Structure 1
Amino acid sequence: MLVLDQSLSSLAGVAIVVGLALLLLPLATPKSAWMRVLLLGLTTVLGWRYMIWRITETVPPAVDGLTFDVIAGWTFVAIEALALVSSTSAYLFLTRRKDRHEEASRNIAWWGGDPPRVDLYIATYNEELEVLERTLAGAQASDYPNLRVFVLDDGRREWLTDVCRRYGAEHRTRPTNEHAKAGNINYTLTQRMKDADAPDFVAVLDADFVPHRNFVRRVVALFHDPKVGLVQTPQHFFNPDPIQHNLYIASAYPDEQRFFFEHLEPARDAWGIAVCCGTSSMVRVSALREIGGLPTQSVTEDFLLTIRLDSHGYRTVYLNEALTEGLAPEGLHEYVVQRGRWCLGMMEIVRNVYNPFGANGLRFMQRLSLVDSLLFWTTTFPFRLIALIGPLLYWYFGIIVVNASLTDITSYYLPYYAAVLITLNWISHGMIWPVLNDVSQLIAAWPITRAATMGLLTKGPHKFRVTAKGGDRTKTIVQWPMMRPFALLFGLTLLGILLPLVFPDHFGHVAKAGDGIRIILFWTIYNLVVLAITMLVCVERPRVNRPQRENVELATISVGSQRLPSWVLELGVDHARIRGLSGLTVGALGTIALADVGDVAIRISNETNDGYRLSLRPSPEQRDGILRKLHTADARPGTGRGDLPEMIRGWMRGLASR
C-alpha cells in the first residue's frame, strides 16, 4: 500500500503540468507573448529542477576514487547538462516571435520611382538538366520588372549556355572553383559591379530551388530599412526527405528542417539574430561590398555572412513566407553529408573566425547565438549516441549511469518531459514527436559528432562534398554501411536483455539494481524501438515520377469524341493521376486541358481503383508551363504538423505495397 501511495504521489508533478496546460492553453494562441513566456519559463524551471536532482542524487560518488561507475556516470550527466543548456537557450529565443508579413505588404513599392535593380544568382556545379530547368522556368515567371537572371556554373558545361538562353538567363563561368559557392558568387558580382546596370540587390538560389512568382517582389520590400543587409526566407521542399519517404510518412510528418524555419527563425528574428541560410535569400550589394564580399573562411559562408554583416551594423531579417521551394536530399547518404557539412562550417566559424568568448566586437546576442549553435551541434548528437550506450554499460558490466528509483524518475523527469512535449507542440502546432525526433537525430549523430570534433580540433581548410541532387532513384537501396552500426547496437541491446535470463548465474549484478531495473528496462526497450526504426530508414525506397504535387484540380479529358471532366489528384511533368472516370481504354490517346498550360497530349497508361494514370506528352512550352504550375504558385508544399492517423494509414499503405 505504501509503494502504491508513493507511486501515485510521484505522478503529482505530471498531473499539475497537464492540468495547467488544459487550464491555460485555451486562453491564448501560440502568438501570445505572455503565454509563451509562462510555458517556456515553466519548462526551463522543471528542466533544471530535474538536472539538479540528477547531479546531486543519481551520480555515483567518488568516495572510492575514479571507478568506471564514477567516470561513466559523470560523463553522461555532463553531456546531458550541456544539452539542457542548449535547450534552455532555445527556450529563451522561443519566448518571442517576429512576423514581417504586414511589413512587407506595406512597403511593397517603397522606392517610389524605378524599382531597384536585382540580380538573381543560381549557383550550380553538377546538377542535371531536369533540376536546372525547374529553377530557370520559375525565374522566368518572376513578376518583378527589373530583374536579371544569372546561372553561375562551376561545372563549366557548354550545353548550359543554350539552356540559359532559352529561359532568358545568362550563363557565367570562372577559371577556377576557388572557395566553392562563395567564390563563385563573388566572382560574378565583381564582374557585374563594373557594368552600367550593376545590381542594388542580389538574390541567391541553389540550383534546385525554384522561386515563386512573387519571391523577388516580396523580399525587396523589406529593404525599405537601410540597415537591413540581408533578407532570408524559409526553405520549403516539394519532395519528402529520406526519413519521411522511407517511413511512408511524408503526408503526416513534417520534414526535419520545418521547426527551424517555421519557429526558430521567426524567434531569432525577434531577438535580432536571424541567420542567413544561403539559398532563398537576398543581400544588399552596398553592404556586401563594405564587408569585402561573401566571406570564404567557412564552408557555411551563409551563417558567417550574417555575423560579418552584423559586425558592420547591418541586420539580417526573416520573412516567413513560402516564396521558394526546392529539392530535399533524396538519398540518405546525401542527407547525412549535408548536415555534417553544416556542423563542420559552424565549428570553423567558432574556432577560426568568431570565437563567441573572444575580443571581436560582437554584440551580446550574436555571442549568445554562436554559443547556442555551438552547443546544439556539440551536445545534441553526442547525447543521442551515449543514450544508446547507457543501458549496455549496465547489462554487460553492471555500470549504472542513472542511479535512481522509478518513483524518482516519475517525480523529476516526467514533469519536465511532459512540459517539453506540451509546450513545443503548442508552439509548433504538433511538430515534436517522440521516437521520430530521436530517429532524425540518430541517423546523422555519428557523422555530425565526428565533424564537430574535426572542426574544433583542426584548423583546416576542410574538404567537403556538394550535396548531390537528382539522379536515378528508381531502385530500392539498402545503405548497409550506415545500417551496420545501428544493427550492431540493436543486436547488443537485445542480447543484453536476454543474457541475464539465459545465464542468471553469470549476471548477478542485474538483481542488484533493485527498483532501478525497471528504468533500465524501459530505457532499453525504447532504444530498441528507435534503433529498429532507424534501420528501416536505411532501406531507401524507390522514388519515381518526380517531381510531383498532390493537389486536386478539375480538368477536362478528351479521348476521341468524348470530352470528360475529371479530377487531377497528382501531376508531374510527364505523368498525372486522375479520378472520377471509367470506361477508357488503356493505351488510348487524347488530351488533358490543364489551366495555365493548355491541351496536353496524353496516353492512358493504366487503370487505378478510382481512375487512371496518364502519360503526358507536353511540348517544350507546355513542359515549362507545367513546371511553373507545379512550383511557382503561391502555395506551401509539404506538411507542417504531425498527424498520427495519417501516419498509421501511410504505414498500412507501405505494408500493403510490399
Structure 2
Amino acid sequence: MPAQVSAAGTGAVHGRPSASAPLADEDAYLRVPAGRLTALAGPALAIAVVVIGAVYLAWRAGGLSGTGVAGHLFYAAEVASYLTIVWTAVMTARIRPGLVRRAPAPVGTLDVFVTVCGEPADIVEATLRAAMAIDYPHRTYVLNDGRIARRDNWREIDELAARLGLTCFTRTDGPKGKAANLNHAFARTDAQAIMTLDADHIAVPDLAERVLGYLRVPAVGFVCTEQRFDVGRHDVLNNAEPMLYRAIQPAKDRDGAASSCGNGTLYRRAALESVGGFSEWNIVEDLHTSYELHAGGWRSVYHPEPVSVGIAPATAAEYARQRSRWAMDGLRLLLFDNPLRKSGLTGWQRAHYLHTGIGYLVACAQMMFLLGPPLSAVGGIQLGAGVSLTSYMLHALPYLAGSTLIVAHHAGLRGAHRTIASTLFNAPLYALAFVRVVLSGRPEAGTTAKTALPRMSILLLPQALFAAALIATIVVIGLDPEPADLSALVWAGALLAMIAGPLSAISRRPSLAERVQLPIRATIATAVLGLAATALLTG
C-alpha cells in the first residue's frame, strides 16, 4: 500500500476542510488551444437567445386576448421554458474555454467499492476483474446487497468474490438501498480515498492516475467523472447525455458545485466522515451526498473523462424507470431540503442545485407543447389570437433556432436533437415523479435494472397517448388541409418525430432500435410534406 498522507495532505482538521486550504483551480488544469471565436461563442449565443426570446415572448403576449385558460397556460409554459434557458445559458457561458481538468500524480491509499444487487454473475465478474487490474496499489471490495434485497443469485456473488480472493460484504439486515450498502462497507474499511463503481462498469486501468491526484488539494472532498456507456450510434434514449457532461457539469465545476452521478465518483474519507457517511435520505446516494458535502464546506471537482464504461438502459421501459427515480431525488431535495434554506452553500452552489430541482418542474411544462397541435387543430382552441402563419414563423423560428444552437454548441447537432427529444419524452415522467414525491415524501430505494424488464411499462402510457394525439392531428389536417393549418401540421410532425424515437426503443437490441429510426422519421416527414403541399396547392 502507498504511504499514508500527512495530516496536511488530507486537508482536514477534525474531519472538516481547512479554511485556509487552496482551491482546486489553475494547478489542476491543462491549457489547450482555444481561439477567440471559440471563447466568445458561448456568451454570444447566450446573449442572442436571451434577447430573441424576450422579443418573442413580448410579441406572444400581445396575442393572448380571447385565448382563454388554455392559451394562458401555454404562454406560461413558454415563459417558464425561456427562464430556464436563460438560467442555463448564464451558467454555461461561464465555462472557461481552453482549460481542461488534469489531476496531479496520485497519492494516498485507495479502496474500490463495487456495489452489487442482483446483477448477473458474469457481468459482475468482468467488473471485478477490471477493478482488480487498476494499476495503482488498492483494495477491491464486493458490496453484495443481493441477500437483503432478496435476489436469487446473491450466493453466486459470494462464491465469485471468494474465487477471486476478494473481501465481500453481504448484508443481512439494515435499511435497503445503495447508500446503506456503501455505509456498511465504509464502516469496515480505512483507505483515505474511496472509488465507487456500479456492478456493470468496467474500470480503465489508469483510473487512479486520472482522478486520485485531485485529493492533493485539501479542500476537495470528492471527484465526479463523466459517465460513459456502451450505446449505439444513434443513442435513441440519450444515455450519453452530452449536454450534462460537456456543459452542465463543467459549469458546476467552475463553482465547486459538480455533483456525483453515482458511478465513478472518488470520495475523500475525511469528507464523508464529516457528514456522517453516504446520505441515506434520498432514493440513491449520489445527489444528496454531494449536497451534504458541499454544505459541509467541501469542494468538488469534475474530471471530464470517463473512468469506466458501463451498460445503459436498453429499453424505453428501463429508461423511464431510471429517469423517474432521478427526478424524484431532485424534486424531493427541492421540496424538503431546499437549497435556499441550506446553510453552508455558496451562492453559486445554491443556484446550481436550484437549477437541478426546478429544471425537473419546468420540464413538466413541456407537455403543454406536446398538447399544442392537438388543442389547436383538433380541439379548435386558440393558443394565439389574430396571428398569421408568416408572423408566427418570423418570431418563433429565430428563437427556436437560437435555443437549439445553444445546446448544439456544447452537445453537437446530433446531441442537441437527442437532448430535446429526451426532454419532451421525459416531461410526463417528471410530472408523475412530482406527484409521487408530494404524496409519499420518500419513495423506496432502488437501482437501475441490469436484467431484462418488461418491454412496456405504465410509465410509457402518457408518451403513447401524446404520440396518438399528434398522429390524430396530422390525420385531421390531412382530411381537410388548409394553409392556416400548416403551422400546426409542421409542429405536430416535428414533435412526433422527437418522441417517437425514444418510444420505439422496445427491443433490448440497440441495433434494432436504431434501424427503425430512419423509417419512422421518413414516414413522418413524407406525410407532413405531402399534406403541406396539398394545403398550399388547394388553398
TM-score, normalised relative to structure 2: 0.80
Alignment of 1:228-627 (within 5 A): 228-240=220-232, 249-250=234-235, 255-353=239-337, 355-358=338-341, 360-380=343-363, 382-403=364-385, 404-434=387-417, 436-455=418-437, 457-458=438-439, 460-471=441-452, 479=456, 485-499=462-476, 517-530=485-498, 532-537=500-505, 539-540=506-507, 542=509
Kept in 2, the 8 Å contact 1:182–1:301? The answer is yes
CA shift for structure 1 position 543: 6.2
Alignment of 1:121-270 (within 5 A): 121-145=113-137, 147-156=138-147, 157-192=154-189, 198-240=190-232, 249-250=234-235, 255-270=239-254
Give the fraction of aligned pairs with identical amino acids, expressed as a percent. 24
Q: For 2:69 and 2:214, how far apart are their aligned partners in 1?
A: 53
Matched AA of 2:486? R
| CA displacement 1:269-304 (0-9 Å, x = unmatched) | 113221111110111111111111111111142111
CA shift for structure 1 position 383: 2.9
CA gap of 1:281–1:483, structure 2 versus 1, over 3 A, is closer
CA gap of 1:118–1:433, structure 2 versus 1, over 3 A, is closer
Kept in 1, the 8 Å contact 2:177–2:284? The answer is no
Q: For 1:283 and 1:322, how far apart are their aligned partners in 2?
A: 16
| CA displacement 1:570-599 (0-9 Å, x = unmatched) | xxxxxxxxxxxxxxxxxxxxxxxxxxxxxx
CA gap of 1:362–1:516, structure 2 versus 1, over 3 A, is farther
CA shift for structure 1 position 305: 1.5
| CA displacement 1:406-465 (0-9 Å, x = unmatched) | 23223322112222333432333434444x44432343332221002322x235221244
Q: For 2:158 and 2:36, how far apart are their aligned partners in 1?
A: 49
Higher mean C-alpha deviation, range 528-537 or range 314-323? 528-537
Q: Based on CA coordinates, which of the two structures has the bigger radius of gyration?
A: 1
CA shift for structure 1 position 30: 9.1
Q: For 1:288 and 1:213, how far apart are their aligned partners in 2?
A: 25
Q: For 2:510 and 2:76, how far apart are their aligned partners in 1?
A: 42
CA gap of 1:202–1:31, structure 2 versus 1, over 3 A, is farther
Structure 2 gap ranges (5+): 1-32, 148-153, 523-539
CA gap of 1:295–1:59, structure 2 versus 1, over 3 A, is same
Kept in 2, the 8 Å contact 1:30–1:426? The answer is no
Alignment partner of 1:59 is 2:57: no
Structure 1 gap ranges (5+): 1-26, 62-68, 110-114, 193-197, 505-509, 545-646
CA gap of 1:460–1:31, structure 2 versus 1, over 3 A, is farther
Q: For 1:136 and 1:346, how far apart are their aligned partners in 2?
A: 31
Q: Which residue matches 1:644?
A: none
CA shift for structure 1 position 130: 1.6
User: Number of paired residues?
Assistant: 482
- Structure 2 SS opposite 1:522: helix
Q: For 2:44 and 2:166, how far apart are their aligned partners in 1?
A: 51
Matched AA of 1:257? E
| CA displacement 1:446-504 (0-9 Å, x = unmatched) | 2221002322x2352212442111459xxxx86375665555444444444555776x7
CA shift for structure 1 position 177: 4.7
Higher mean C-alpha deviation, range 391-400 or range 314-323? 391-400
| CA displacement 1:237-292 (0-9 Å, x = unmatched) | 1244xxx6xxxx35x99644232112321122113221111110111111111111
Q: For 1:522 and 1:121, how far apart are their aligned partners in 2?
A: 51
Q: For 1:31 and 1:228, how far apart are their aligned partners in 2?
A: 32
Kept in 2, the 8 Å contact 1:149–1:169? The answer is yes
Q: Which residue matches 1:22?
A: none
Q: For 2:311 and 2:36, how far apart are their aligned partners in 1?
A: 30
Q: Which residue matches 1:568?
A: none
CA shift for structure 1 position 104: 3.3
- Structure 1 SS opposite 2:228: coil
| CA displacement 1:137-173 (0-9 Å, x = unmatched) | 111111112x111111111323323322333421112
More helix by share: 2
CA shift for structure 1 position 328: 0.5
Q: For 1:446 and 1:649, how far apart are their aligned partners in 2?
A: 24
Matched AA of 1:131? I
- Structure 2 SS opposite 1:84: helix
Higher mean C-alpha deviation, range 128-137 or range 386-395? 386-395
Q: Which residue matches 2:53?
A: 47
Matched AA of 1:424? V
CA shift for structure 1 position 530: 3.6
Higher mean C-alpha deviation, range 71-80 or range 523-532? 523-532
CA gap of 1:215–1:399, structure 2 versus 1, over 3 A, is same
- Structure 2 SS opposite 1:79: helix
Q: For 1:501 and 1:166, how far apart are their aligned partners in 2?
A: 66
Kept in 2, the 8 Å contact 1:233–1:322? The answer is yes
| CA displacement 1:304-346 (0-9 Å, x = unmatched) | 1122111121101101123211111123211110000000011
Kept in 1, the 8 Å contact 2:376–2:382? The answer is yes
